[in-house]
Chain A
Amino acid sequence: MLKINNLHAKVEDKDILKGLSLEIKPGEVHAIMGPNGSGKSTFGYVLSGREGYEVTDGEIEFEGKNILELEADERAKEGLFLAFQYPVEIPGVSNMEFLKASIDATREYQGKEPLDAVSFMKLAREKCQQVNLDQNFLKRGVNEGFSGGEKKRNEIMQMMLLEPKLCILDETDSGLDIDALQVVADGVNACRDGNRSFIVVTHYQRLLDYIVPDYVHVLSNGKIIKSGGKELALELEEKGYSWIDKL
């Protein structure tokens, strides 16, 4: 599904990713762990196609297609989804209007019939319920005045609506209490269908108790320096990130 080979990227002339390689097959869950400043968030931005994040070397192939030349919206419509650590607030654009525009654009790109207003509303309400968001959220501005937990649940709801092939969850656990974490994890787990793949980017092992990964990778100084099974996360938690410096 995703093949990344020797990825180098820079932001404002600062090299952040320095030869990252990773391969993900359909249905797999990969966790990427690493200390602050290791390039975890940059990785998500580069994958999603954020402007200002320049790939200087290497390749990203998604579903057999080189996506480096694609705009962020085109990558999204190809089936790549990034759940943000800090989703932005957009007052004046209602959640409903935003979700409708998003679904319409995605379906059109994928050659599907547009959803009529009634089916859309039904679907949106259903997804709201699944992540425990009140339906009134649909009428409010995108993330406007939402609590940290509500913002994260809104991200997961969008993921459920858009049905992407690959989901990147950027520090989805940050700022969540246990109850909220459970809701978010349940949402993610409900989306695991054997084909959809996940990249779970996190600083802490805690989230991986809820979303159990197939592989764990340790990112340090822009490169994956160690890979293993889910037990690697526990080892990392126990020994701390200073341990990897000695690797």
Chain B
Amino acid sequence: MNYQIDLQNREQLSLNSSELSDIKELYQQRNDSLDAFKQASLPSRKVEHWKYNDMTFLKEGEFELATQTRPMPTSYPAIAIEDAIELHFNNGVLANDLAALDLPQGLRIRKLQECSADKISLLAKMNQVNEKNMLLNLNQALCDNIIVIETLDNVQLNQMIYIKHLTSDLQNNAIASSQIFVMVGRSSELSILEQFESELTNAITLSLQQSFFQLSENSHVKHYRLNVEKDSAHQVGQVKATLEKDAVFDSFYLGLGSKLNRTDIDILHQGNNAHVELNGIYLPANEQRIDYHSNIEHQVPHCTSNEIFRGIIADKSSAVFNGKIHIFKDAQKSDAFLNNKNLLLTNQAEVNTKPELEIYADDVKCAHGATVAQLDDKSVYYLQTRGINKKRARKMLSIAFIQELVNKVKQDAVRKHLVSLLDDYMSHID
């Protein structure tokens, strides 16, 4: 099955014939997404949501969906998480034999095509047309690799679900495409870590990945999304979560590496007293570009959100942070906090940050702020007068800038992994 996508002649495209496209509950949604993809402009500086990123490489030639599942050797250290339930996506395709997984009681992991019609309809709803990011619409129209992770009600899952996404050994102009769909039952708890890795390549490749979370009443999800791709990777992804009454979604992001990493985070508060915690660190270096667009919708009253992102921008790299909080008219007593701080390490480093509040209710508490700064010369000098050389002093101050966020990672194994990634990063920057 070779599905060609010529982005310059998009109007020619029609849905590919695949197992998933043939499911009637999905057909309409996939067709709508494809139509939206055809009609939208390609990501360029003329499009508001892509203002600061260059995706012109997409215009070169025809793209093809990757179908390779051969496991590739990788240079990344494994994460030492005890008893983790591991899933591997190689170039978007699931490499595990799901039947062979030894899963605890109350947890189910299946391919979407094995799910019941009502589950499929639910996912189709999550996959509604995206107004801002046409590449996500492309993924929604074409994605054949959809895995559903599901817990029953009242399940406290102690084992972490660790999902490794690897792109490697791809042909030029290949697109890796996948989705995961996590449905958490009432009063259930789940933790999940996604790590994105890639091999360095001369080929132009694009990875499209979306993770959907549906949190039922009083459920708790801890989520980590670590992007540690090599400098050649283009990754466009999305995390989208809907929260019912009393649900808590605690979601942590790391942007490290890749040629371009664009991640959209969409949080929908749909039940009273739901809470979301979004924390993120982005550390572009060399000529990397990292772009986080978050959007938190307080659709109902009494919900809270707390969002802190910090970025250190080195060399000639650039970062974009766009954080929007949208309080609906009926969402009284909403409490939302958003803060973004950036540290520029060189004169060529660039950051564009835009916190946005859109408030239609009149009894809410909202705070937002953003700063951009350079390392404080006085602090560097102070450390130097105590015998610490300049390079080390700059590193200590850089780590200090993100320490607060590292401390927020409470799971020891994940924090250790994070610290080792950061140490490695710090040893490569000036």
Contact = CB atoms under 8 A, between A and B. Distances in A.
Interface of A: 48-52, 71-73, 76-77, 81-82, 84, 87-88, 90-93, 97-98, 101-102, 105-106, 109, 141, 158, 162
Given A93-B396, A105-B392, A162 B386 contact: yes
B105 interface: no
Given A72-B385, A158-B386, A51 B400 contact: no
A141 B386 CA distance: 16
B390 A73 contact: yes
A92 B404 contact: yes
A81 B386 CA distance: 7
Given A71-B390, A90-B379, A92-B404, A76 B397 contact: no
**Interface of chain B: mostly helix, strand, loop or mixed:** helix
B149 interface: no
A93 B404 CA distance: 10
A71 B392 CA distance: 13
12 contacts: A72-B381, A73-B385, A73-B386, A87-B382, A88-B378, A90-B383, A92-B403, A93-B396, A93-B397, A93-B399, A105-B387, A106-B387
Nearest to B377: A51
Contacts of A91: 400
A90 B382 contact: yes
A76 B384 contact: yes
Contacts of B379: 88, 90
A223 B97 CA distance: 82
A129 B378 CA distance: 28
Interface in B353-409: 376-379, 381-390, 392-393, 396-397, 399-401, 403-404
Contact of A88 (B376, B390, B400): B376
Nearest to B391: A73
A171 B186 CA distance: 64
A75 B238 CA distance: 51
Given A101-B396, A105-B389, A73 B378 contact: no
Nearest to A90: B379
Nearest to B382: A88
A71 B382 contact: no
Contacts of A109: 387
A144 B393 CA distance: 17
A76 B386 contact: yes
B388 A102 contact: yes
* Among all A-B residue pairs, the 4 with the closest Cβ atoms: A92-B400, A72-B384, A102-B386, A76-B387
A49 B384 CA distance: 9
Nearest to A161: B386
A109 B382 CA distance: 18
Nearest to B400: A92
B252 to A, nearest CB: 18
A56 B387 CA distance: 25
Contacts of A98: 383, 386, 396
A50 B382 CA distance: 9
Given A51-B377, A88-B379, A105-B389, A73 B404 contact: no
Contacts of A141: 400
Contact of B389 (A49, A73, A87, A162): A73
Contacts of A48: 385
Residue of B376, B377, B400 with most chain A CB atoms under a 10 A cut-off: B400
A71 B379 CA distance: 15
Nearest to B402: A92
Given A71-B389, A105-B392, A92 B381 contact: no
B383 A77 contact: no
Contacts of A49: 384-385
Contact of A73 (B377, B384, B397, B403): B384
B400 A50 contact: no
B402 to A, nearest CB: 8
Contacts of B381: 50-51, 72
Nearest to B406: A92
A115 B306 CA distance: 42
Nearest to B380: A51
A92 B399 contact: yes
A84 B377 CA distance: 15
A71 B400 contact: no
Interface string B230-256: 000000000000000000000000000
Contacts of A92: 397, 399-401, 403-404
B382 A76 contact: no
A71 B376 contact: no
A109 B397 CA distance: 22
Contacts of A162: 386-387
A90 to B, nearest CB: 5
Interface in B117-137: none
A23 B385 CA distance: 22
A86 to B, nearest CB: 9
B390 to A, nearest CB: 7
Contacts of B390: 71, 73
Contacts of B388: 73, 101-102, 105
Contact of A82 (B378, B383, B385): B385
A87 B397 CA distance: 16
A158 B386 CA distance: 8
A77 B390 CA distance: 13
B294 to A, nearest CB: 24
